[in-house]
Structure 1
Amino acid sequence: MLAAKLVDNVWATRKMESLNGLKFMLAEVIDESDNKQRLIVADTIGAGIGDRVIICTGSSSRQIFEDTRIPIDATVIGIIDEDCHF
């Protein structure tokens, strides 16, 4: 799992049918280095721009979907409520 901040929405008017109805966002991983890794994540919990979130990556990120063959590599699984020192 990773901690990240959601920085923007990602709009895709044309995509695989299995992705229809999913909300995509651009997330910036929170770490102490100057390297700003960004990921496109599926948001299934209604997080918004500026929220700090917990992201699950890899095959585990697909386990919340009924069809585990969906082509998702990163999913928001929680919103961080209190200040944490990463």
Structure 2
Amino acid sequence: MLLAKVLGQVVATVKEPGLERFTLLLLQDATGADPERSTGAAYVAVDLVGAGVGEIVLVAAGGAARIAAGADAPTDRAVVAIADTVVRNGTVTYSKF
């Protein structure tokens, strides 16, 4: 799984039937010491947990994303959790609260 920051939503009024029940989120990987500083190209993932803009989330990729999404949706990435706290080397680097 990867840590990512939610940048926004992608609205698609016409989509593959397997995706109709999902919100699509625009994400950017949260790599490095500070998860709130995202880097790299933005990408789209299906939202399975109701994440909001600015939140740090856990993203499953590949086959794990398809399984989490119910295998009836063609997806490469899925948001599977919202991070409350990130601890790195014994130090809290992100806290939602």
Structure-2 residue corresponding to 1:53: 57
Structure-1 residue corresponding to 2:26: 26
Q: How does 1:1-86 map to 2 (within 5 A)?
A: 1-32=1-32, 35-66=39-70, 68-85=71-88
Question: Given the two structures, how large is their TM-score scaled by the length of structure 1?
Answer: 0.85
> Quick check: which has more Rg, 1 or 2?
2
Matched residue type, 1:37: A
Structure 1's consecutive aligned runs of 4 or more residues displaced over 6 angstroms after TM superposition are: none
User: Unaligned stretches of 5+ in structure 1?
Assistant: none
Number of aligned positions between the proteins: 84
Question: Given the two structures, how large is their TM-score scaled by the length of structure 2?
Answer: 0.76
Q: RCO (CA 8 Å, sep 6+): is it higher in 1 or 2?
A: 1
Say what the alpha-carbon RMSD is for the aligned residues: 1.9
**Percent same amino acid among aligned pairs?**
27
